Structure 1
Amino acid sequence: MKGRMNLSIYLVTDDRYFQDRDLVDTIEKAIQGGVTAVQYRFKNKSTRQMYEELLVLRELTKRYGVDLVVNDRVDLALAVEADGVHVGETDLPPDVVRKLVGDKMYIGYSVNSLEKLREVEHLPIDYIGFGSVYETTTKENYKLVGIEALKQAVKMTSKPVIAIGGITHYRVPEVLATGVKGIAVVSAILGFEDVKKAAESLLQACRQAMRQKLFMG
């Protein structure tokens, strides 16, 4: 697998938050605030537009030493030499994705139940997105798994688990206490006008939670 994987504060983009906002400027400010990885996820853009935006974001993320992950589109991930690609149940199967990307990038996979987690444990994936941990407004058809299931998920798999769904800065301590390797967020950063400040507040919450964990032993 290519390079490191730092998904501790993992920003996922969403169409609704970029209606009247500059994509690159917003992402740059979020990175300056503490985001360690960016997942490019858009549903309503042409392939050409996504490719052109990804080329710019690839340069930006390289400059800051931040990971760039492409959602669904393995072709675009390869075209811009992204760090990772993220797929789910309705996308190309992970073993097919692995054949296409080889060891050039890491593969993430979304699951929304402990049963599904058991089924994907053997797949050639490098991290698992697990959620929705809390109620969320970002996705319409989502399944709520809850914090207890997240705790079990971390214990059940040897793969890094990334928590997603309704995570806000004040929920960070509870989420990190489960042993996850990162938190994936959308509205916790993009839902604010000042995305840099929102990212800083998440980073601060993560640092405090980790200090607390070390203190508690």
Structure 2
Amino acid sequence: MNLTIYLITDDKYFKGRDLLETIEKALQGGVTAVQYRFKNKSTREMYEELLKLRELTRKYRADLVVNDRVDLALAVDADGVHVGKEDLPPEAVRKVVGDRLYIGYTANSLEEVKRAQELPVDYIGFGSIYPTTTKESYKLVGVEALTEAIRLSKKPIVCIGGIMPYRVSEVVKAGCRNMAISAGILGFEDVKKAAEEIKRAYKETMKQLMLLGKV
């Protein structure tokens, strides 16, 4: 499981763009995992895209995670599946997938992070850290809550929501080592360059923290 630079797809960023070509450029820029998240496609279309995406992510040694659809994640031999509070409960997902997939779960408050410690999940997506345009309805938690979530969680925290290249340093200094990003990469015309900027900011900030003895 390598979710350092975790790309989340979204319908609105692929209008007039080739899915595989765009994601390949992001992978070339340094993306370490891709979450396939689309709401307006047929099951057959998603399955066929995921088969191609599985080949592509393997080529770049990146993880493939499927949002919501446990059946599709298993069918294409993905690495993980991500579920939210309105989806199949993590306990049920674990019964279905066993040890074949890792499971991600969404938390939007510190209380939910605490409760998630008892769930059979492997990482927790926590946010929204900043205002975001990717989701119409979201809860803003902020950077201070992120630091607290990382402190109290035994499971890896993936910070999500409004993480742009210029905000990477702040979330890394707050303790985040896994960043879920959508607009911060796909919102740019040159997705490879955007991913490279995020990777560079992450590495530079980690280097600074190491020199200060904070890692």
TM-score where L is the length of structure 2: 0.98
Q: Does 1:58 align with 2:35?
A: no
Q: Does 1:171 align with 2:186?
A: no
* Structure 2: gaps spanning 5 or more residues: none
Which residue, out of 118, 125, 134, partners 1:122?
118
Give the conservation status (yes or no) of the 8 Å contact 1:154–1:179: yes
SS at match of 1:35: coil
Which residue, out of 36, 43, 59, partners 2:32?
36
* Structure 1: gaps spanning 5 or more residues: none
Q: How many residues align?
A: 213
How far off its partner does 1:63 sit?
1.0
Q: Does 1:48 align with 2:69?
A: no
Aligned to 1:67: 63
d(CA) in 1 for partners of 2:208, 2:86 = 39
Aligned to 2:101: 105
Give the conservation status (yes or no) of the 8 Å contact 1:70–1:76: yes
Q: Deviations over 1:116-141 (max 9, x none)?
A: 11122100000000000001111010
How far off its partner does 1:54 sit?
0.1
d(CA) in 1 for partners of 2:193, 2:115 = 39
Q: Deviations over 1:40-91 (max 9, x none)?
A: 0000000000000000000010111000000000000000000000000000
Aligned to 1:190: 186
Q: Does 1:77 align with 2:73?
A: yes
Identical pairs, percent = 66
d(CA) in 1 for partners of 2:116, 2:167 = 27
How far off its partner does 1:170 sit?
1.3
Q: Does 1:19 align with 2:18?
A: no
Letter in 1 for 2:122: D
RMSD over aligned Cα, in angstroms?
0.6
Give the conservation status (yes or no) of the 8 Å contact 1:160–1:180: no
d(CA) in 1 for partners of 2:33, 2:200 = 17
d(CA) in 2 for partners of 1:196, 1:173 = 19
How far off its partner does 1:178 sit?
2.2
d(CA) in 2 for partners of 1:167, 1:66 = 20
Aligned to 1:8: 4
